[in-house]
Amino acid sequence: MKKVNYRNLPSRLSLLLLVFLLTFSTTIFAQEESANEAEATEAQTPPAEGVGDVAAGETLFKANCAACHKLDKKATGPALRGVAEKYDREWLYKWIKNSQELIQSGDALAVKLFEENNRSVMTAFPALTNTDIDNILAYTSAPKPEPTVVELPVGGGGESGSGVSNNVILGALALVFLLLVVMLFLVTSTLKRIAEANGVTYEEKEKKMPIWKAFAQNQFLVLVTSIFLLLAAGYFAYGWMMQVGVDQGYAPVQPIHYSHKIHAGANQIDCNYCHSSARKSKHSGIPSLNVCMNCHKNIAEYNGEVDPENGYTKEFYDAEIQKLYDAVGWDEAEQKYTGEEKPVKWVRIHNLPDFAYFNHSQHVTVAGIECQKCHGPVEEMEIMYQFSPLTMGWCINCHRETNVNLAGNEYYAKIHEELSKKYGVDKLTIAQMGGLECGKCHY
Amino acid sequence: MTKTTNMKKILNISLTLFVAALLVSCFDSNRPNYQYMDNMYEPVGYETYGNYEIFPGGQEAMLPAEGSIPRGWQPYDYENSTAGLELARAELKNPLEVTEENLAAGGQLYTIYCAVCHGDKGDGQGILAQREKFLGIPSYGDAGRNITEGSVYHVQMFGLNAMGSYASQTNELERWQITQHVMNLTAALKGEPLLVPVGKDSLNVNTPQMVTTSGVSEATTDEGEDNNLEN
């Protein structure tokens, strides 16, 4: 009888191949580190026109004018690019220093301009000198810079390219691996056939009792196994049934992609700014769109961090702001509401069942709990999801662990004193104040 | 190794994979989970922000009927125009007494609603100004700005230029509390004396018509703590 050397070859080789793959998979990602060589070409500041200093004008413009004027878009006041060419310089001096005086003196041009802009009064700037105004006008006369056109294809294209090639390489490797495995099986079977043809006989396995038969005959083993299986099944069934009705991790797609990460995280806007009713009512409230427009009247485009890998580009965010304008009926060019509104059908994420009562103001205002305690790190959520299970056990647990906040709340003073005497503790938990009574939440 | 066992193995493996894929695909974060007895979950009445056919567009959230007035609401007579602003600037006065409570509440509300742009000190250097989302926010202390209680309240009510109205997020009491805090910030920036809080005894005397922060007081009084004493 001949010894066949490599009978276990397929499995051993596949293990080897796996090791091979794993060793090289780290280098696949290393490509990402390649530095982004493209230096952002700075927007070239055009030379001063001899009448004013552009840089000084920019500082002045941002400090004094930018609250109401933008360079290329109408805001509270008209767009200012090229304004120096439209009007007489002396007239502009007068207008900027005190526009109301000019209007009241009956200057036809001034009155016309005032009427064209909804009769909103421009702040007088008596403190600006003529040189200051010259500087500002030099800034507004500067041609529109176009740095974005140069920057985008290099940075964005390069990154997305490496992402694609990584996927392609991984896919190709997986395919090669698969092919190798298939080939090995084919090779072994052919080898076997050749061996048989050459008269090499395999060691025939002795006919043993099949293992399942042996198992079935051992009654003790069967009993133990079936008990074990039943327990395991019970364990998993319990686990599965306990998560029914729990929406933890629920993250629906909203009609407008509102990023809490940008608003509450990067811009540090207080939760209560938009969810203003959380302070004083049962519901925290989905903010109405006029609250969005408090800021977005002015902010029509996104200029923050982008994440092109996930599709969160500037264009994406700008389109979402446009969705807001469509819904609320805001005409960006005219800076007016058109009156054509389309309600946004937000998808509510946090829902308590009808038989449970929860009041936001009691927790936010009276107890002074941070929103994040229940809602999780909202300031890091690009897409909002339900952080807590919102189950009864979860509520009760917090009521057992949290002490009652007494600061500045005389309502609790007397009851706290008597109960702490009764329980012999310094600080009462909510449970000790009756926070576990059924009627508190179920009515 | 025979062909049939091979086939069986492949069949088993693929079946396991299929079940695993099925399990994974069931956890769809886009949909709410299954519920037991949904009759107990879904309210009989119309739920806040619910979607019901009976409402126009299916929306439960609707504007109040025309002409309805919230409880405790006081009419505000100054119109939303430059003339109205000037009139309010000249004659509107804060009905609230200067108390520590009012100042503290005003400070908190200011931090929530105003400080993102106007800055904690009122110097126009809030986080949105620093990040250049809003530009040219003036400081309360700028020379030539005639800030009075009336003008502060009027601007909160209707907004001014790039600033929007805050009438939907705050009530009358809260706007006056914010006004007190803003007057204090203005005085601090200009180096003038701050408002002096009166003693606690005269609290709540001269504001009988004012809206209280109803939600809060109700929420606290709703608690039936007394039951627990008998246990």
Question: What's the complex ipTM?
Answer: 0.72
Residues A348-365: tens digit of each pLDDT: 888 888 888 999 998 998
Interface of A with B in 65-84 (CB under 8 A): 65-68, 75-76
Residue A212 forms contact with B (CB below 8 Å): no
Note whether B137 and B229 are within 8 A (CB).
no
The CA distances from residue A366 to A280, A352, A378, in Å, are: 10, 21, 22
Chain A residues within 8 A of B49 when measuring between CB atoms: 286, 346, 348
Residue that has been written with the tokens 């060691």 in this structure? A203
3-state secondary structure of A331: strand
Measure CA B39 to chain center: 33
> Are residues A355 and B40, on separate chains, in Cβ contact within 8 Å?
yes
Length of chain B: 231
Percent of chain A topping pLDDT 70: 82
Averaged pLDDT for residues A307-334: 86
| A8: pLDDT strictly greater than 70 | no
pLDDT surpassing 90 at residue A170: yes
Q: What is the extent of the structural domain holding B121?
A: 82-194
- Nearest-CA distance B194 → chain A (Å): 24
pLDDT the model gives residue A76: 73
The CATH number given to A54-142 is 1.10.760.10
Inside any domain, residue B105: yes
Q: Looking at residue B67, what is its pLDDT?
A: 86
From chain A residues 132-161, the ones with a CB under 8 A of any chain B CB are none
Domain-embedded: residue B100: yes
**Which has the closest alpha carbon to A437: B45, B36, B222, B40?**
B222
- Residues in chain B, pLDDT under 50: 1-2, 201-231
Task: Inspect the interface and report whether the beta carbons of A366 and B216 lie closer than 8 Å.
Answer: yes
Of A120, A281, A291, the CB nearest to B169: A291
Tell me if B68 is assigned to some domain.
Answer: no
CB contact under 8 A, B116 and A269: yes
Name the pTM for this structure: 0.66
Distance from CA of A18 to the nearest CA of B (A): 19
Chain B residue nearest residue A349, CA to CA: B32
pLDDT (mean) for A387-391: 89
Percent of chain B with pLDDT over 70: 77
Residues in chain A with CB shorter than 8 Å from the CB of B212 are none
Q: Tell me if B225 is assigned to some domain.
A: no
Residue A33: pLDDT over 80: no
Coil, strand or helix: which one is B225?
Answer: helix
In the prediction, which pLDDT does A123 show?
Answer: 74
pLDDT at A44 > cutoff 50: no
Q: What is the pLDDT of residue B186?
A: 87
Q: Which of B29, B40, B228 sits opposite A353 (nearest CB)?
A: B40
- A295 touches B at CB < 8 Å: yes
Query: Where are the domains positioned within chain A?
Result: 9-30+148-197, 54-142, 211-242, 260-393, 394-443
Measure CB to CB from residue A343 to each of B35, B36, B57 and give the nearest one: B57
- The secondary structure of B28-52 as a DSSP string is -TTSPPP-SSHHHHS-SSPPTT-B-
CATH number of the domain enclosing B127: 1.10.760.10
Tell me, yes or no, whether B13 lies in a domain: no
Calpha distance B207→B24 (Å, rounded): 61
Choosing among B29, B82, B221, which should be mutated to test the A contact, i.e. which has the most A CBs within 10 A?
B29
Q: Which of A250, A273, A290 sits opposite B32 (nearest CB)?
A: A250
